[in-house]
Structure formats: C-alpha cells, structure tokens
Amino acid sequence: MNKNVSNLINSDLLQARIDEVIERTLSEKRLVGAVLKVAIQGTEYYSRALGYADREKNRHMQENTLFRLASVSKPIVSTAALVLLSQGRLHLDDHVDKWLPDFRPRLQSGELATVTIQNLLTHTAGLTYRFFQKEQDSYEQAGVSDGMDQTDITLEENLRRLASAPLLYTPGMEWKYSIATDVLGAVIAKVTETTLSEAVRSLVTEPLGMQDTGFIAVNPERLSAAYANDTPEPRRLRDDLDTNPFVEGTAGFRLSPMRALDNRAYQSGGAGMVGSAGDFLQLLETLRKGGAPLMSESWVHKMTTNQIGDLPMAYWPGRGFGLGFTVLKDPVAAATSESLGTWRMGGTYGHSWFVDPVKQISVVAFTNTALEGMSGQFTVDLCEAIYEGIRS
C-alpha cells in the first residue's frame, strides 16, 4: 500500500480535472448524464451528479439515481459466489453439473465437457454471448437470451438452450467474455436453495447496506432513462426492444430498458441488476479493504489477482482476469496510468469502474449512455484526470 498518496492530492485540482472531463463530454453531447464517485484511501474526494437522468422529461441526475447495471452485475454476483466459497459451501473445482445436473454442454466434437465453478468465474468455460456472434449463429439459433432483452423464458429454460449449443472451446483452454455469470447465478440459487435475488441480498447487499441494489428498480421514479451514443446527440433507447450492433460484424445487443421494472424477467446474474453508484462504491471499498464482513482477505486476494495465466483477452490488452473481473498485468500494453494489479470493468448501459489497490483508489462512473460511458473516450479521459490530480 502507498500510505503517502493522500499527501500528494490537491483536492481542488482533482475535482477541477474531473469536472472538466465530464462537463466537456456532456457539452459535446457524448453523454446525457452521469454520477461519479472517487474514494482515495477511504475518503470520498469526489461525488457529483451531472446532466439528465431523463432528458425528455427534464429530470436532472441525482446522486441516488438508479441505473441498469448490465455487466456491473457480474462483480456483485461473483462476490456472492466468493462468499459461498469462503464458507465452504461451494468449491472452485466443483463441476457445474454437481449443482445443475441438466447443464451438460458438449464440445464441438460432441463429447461431453467438464465445466467448473472456476471456469465460470474466470470466463474460461467455453461460452460466449449471442451479441458477440454473427447473426443466425449458434446462440441465436438456439434462442439464447443475453439477459438484457425482454423475454418470458425462465433462467432454467435459457440454460437449457445454452447447453444445447456446442461450446466454442475446451473449458480452461481459452478466455472469452461470456454469459458464464448467468450460469453461476443459477448455481448460487441452487446452493442457497432460494432465488438468486434472495441469495445476493442475504450474502452481499444486506450485510453491506446496499439498499438500492437488486434485480428490479427499488423506486421506478429514481431510475434513469437509457440512451445510446449517436450523432448529433445520444438517442433514447426504446422501452420494448432496441438492437445495437456496437461491435461491428456481430449480431449486436438486444436491450429492453423496461426489463428493470419487470419482476417476471428471469434474474440474469451477468446483466440483470439495478443499483446506484453509492451502493457499488460500498462494495468496491469493502473488497479493497480486505472483504470483511463478507469474506476473508485470502479470498479477496484470489478474486483480485490474475487467474488465467497468459491466456489472451480480446478487447482488453495488458489485462488478465480474476474471479469476476479484469486485472491489470501490463500498464504499458493497456496504455493506462493505473497501477499494476488494478481491477476494472464496465457495463453495456454506460458504466465504468476501477480499483487501484496500490494507490487505494476506488472509482465509480455510472452514466446512462452506452457505449461512450463504458469504453469510450470519456473513460480514458476520466482515468487520466484522476491520476493527474493525484500527481500534481
């Protein structure tokens, strides 16, 4: 730990640098609204809501605004799994079919595959997402949901469809960002003999006081509208179904913003949660400080260190993967000022976050504008502004 970071911070300068980045991004109409929180060595140095939660209704962003989390759900659900691991109720080398007897996917050869809990947590399970595939590829033909569209199928039915499609590779041999956390969510529900929602509540959100976080918006009036970055300004996503081919040459995302208000939609562990920036910062800080009261520091160490060796990661050069999110292996290759070992990820609806364990920085940037808020220039500029404020 760097115990002298706080002595290097010019608080006014740090706030000014962050303000400049977000105000410029808003003025250039690349974002509609955002909530940013930055904690350094346990002290919240920055907390601000800017722009609109709902542009068309002239509703301004508030610090307690609720957001569709998409992949920000993954670290929350992965944390629930780590709690079960720390309690000895689940094991990394458990075969998934021990808990889900009907989930028995096959390799391209037709041979039954062995998928473990570690494979699910590290995204080395042989799975992918429909939105990464080409149109009419195996997942679309099987009718697999990515967990963000409006669908009336159950989680069990979605996993049945998923298992009917051949794995892309032998588990453990490659890394591909995937729907694995949905499968993990089903395992968590089975281990705890309850719903995934109740399991996450009892294992994670209730102990940490994360009252805003769940699979349905706790207060619809606080829920932000959802937008996609577009020109000349972001466009509002349709409430029923909006298809966005954010990755060229792929089938693209099918996003149904109303899913956040539909308690009939199955609980997607990888993309289905709703929450606030303050709640998520609480989770990040809990893990950064060692995991209490959720788990031991040894399990946090496993979660936040690279677990996939030198397997290449598409889209994230210089990074490895822990038990639920990316871990920085090479700051030069990643072209970032973050310290070695920094954990980071984002979410399709427009979020980014990172924890620098060396400088003890936790950052949450929740926006309502995909894709700019997830991996656009805003995330790069924000990161650099924070480190410039610390160095100056």
Same domain, 131 and 67: no
Same domain, 294 and 367: yes
Examine the pLDDT at 118 and tell me if it is beyond 60.
yes
Residues 6 or more apart whose CB falls under 8 angstroms from that of 44 comprise 37, 38, 281
6, 27, 71, 268: the catalytic one is: 71
In a domain, 179, yes or no: yes
In a domain, 243, yes or no: no
Same domain, 305 and 368: yes
- Segments forming the whole domain that contains residue 293: 5-72+209-234+267-391
Using the 3D structure, point to which of 167, 188, 205 is the last residue of a domain: 205
Average of pLDDT values for 128-133? Answer: 92
Examine the pLDDT at 315 and tell me if it is beyond 90.
no
pLDDT of residue 4: 57
pLDDT of residue 391: 75
pLDDT of residue 38: 98
Token pair recorded at residue 280: 């998520």
Cα dist. 159→90, 101, 109, 179, 281 in Å?
20, 11, 20, 10, 31
Strand duo 67-68 + 274-275: pairing: antiparallel
Q: What percent of the chain has pLDDT over 70?
A: 96
In a domain, 367, yes or no: yes
Spatial distance between the Cα atoms of 202 and 220, rounded to a whole number of angstroms? 23
In a domain, 244, yes or no: no
User: DSSP states of 228-280 as a string?
Assistant: E--SSS-EEPPSS-EEE--STTS--EEE-GGGGG-TTS---TTT--EE-HHHH
In a domain, 190, yes or no: yes
Q: Kindly report the backbone phi and psi dihedral angles of residue 245, in degrees, each rounded to the nearest multiple of 5, phi listed first.
A: -80, 70
> pLDDT band at 382, cuts 50/70/90?
very high
What's the whole-number average pLDDT of the chain? 94
pLDDT in tens, 20-66: 999 999 999 999 999 999 999 999 999 999 999 999 999 999 999 99
* Spatial CA neighbour of 40 closest among 80, 2, 91: 2
* Spatial CA neighbour of 271 closest among 67, 35, 34: 67
47 is catalytic: no
> pLDDT band at 190, cuts 50/70/90?
very high
Same domain, 63 and 201: no
Same domain, 170 and 21: no
Q: What is the CATH number of the domain that holds 32?
A: 3.40.710.10
Spatial distance between the Cα atoms of 293 and 286, rounded to a whole number of angstroms? 8
Examine the pLDDT at 392 and tell me if it is beyond 70.
no
In a domain, 251, yes or no: no
For the chain, how many helices (H) and strands (E)?
15, 15
pLDDT in tens, 200-233: 999 999 999 999 999 999 999 999 999 998 889 9
Same domain, 146 and 195: yes
Same domain, 110 and 67: no
> pLDDT band at 6, cuts 50/70/90?
low
Task: Report which DSSP code applies to 142.
Answer: H
Task: Report which DSSP code applies to 130.
Answer: G
Same domain, 40 and 104: no
Same domain, 172 and 110: yes
Same domain, 230 and 368: yes
Spatial distance between the Cα atoms of 118 and 103, rounded to a whole number of angstroms? 16
Helix (H, G, I), strand (E, B) or coil at 52: strand
In a domain, 302, yes or no: yes
pLDDT of residue 105: 98
Same domain, 83 and 100: yes
Examine the pLDDT at 5 and tell me if it is beyond 70.
no
In a domain, 239, yes or no: no
Token pair recorded at residue 116: 């473990």
Global pTM reads 0.96
Spatial distance between the Cα atoms of 244 and 374, rounded to a whole number of angstroms? 14
3-state helix, strand, coil in the chain (%, to 5): 35, 20, 45
pLDDT in tens, 75-92: 999 999 999 999 999 999
Q: How many domains does the chain have?
A: 2
> pLDDT band at 95, cuts 50/70/90?
very high
> pLDDT band at 342, cuts 50/70/90?
very high
pLDDT in tens, 236-285: 998 877 776 556 677 788 899 999 999 999 999 999 999 999 999 999 99
Spatial distance between the Cα atoms of 145 and 188, rounded to a whole number of angstroms? 19
Same domain, 128 and 175: yes
Examine the pLDDT at 373 and tell me if it is beyond 90.
no
Which residue reads 């294992």 in tokens?
A: 203
pLDDT of residue 1: 41
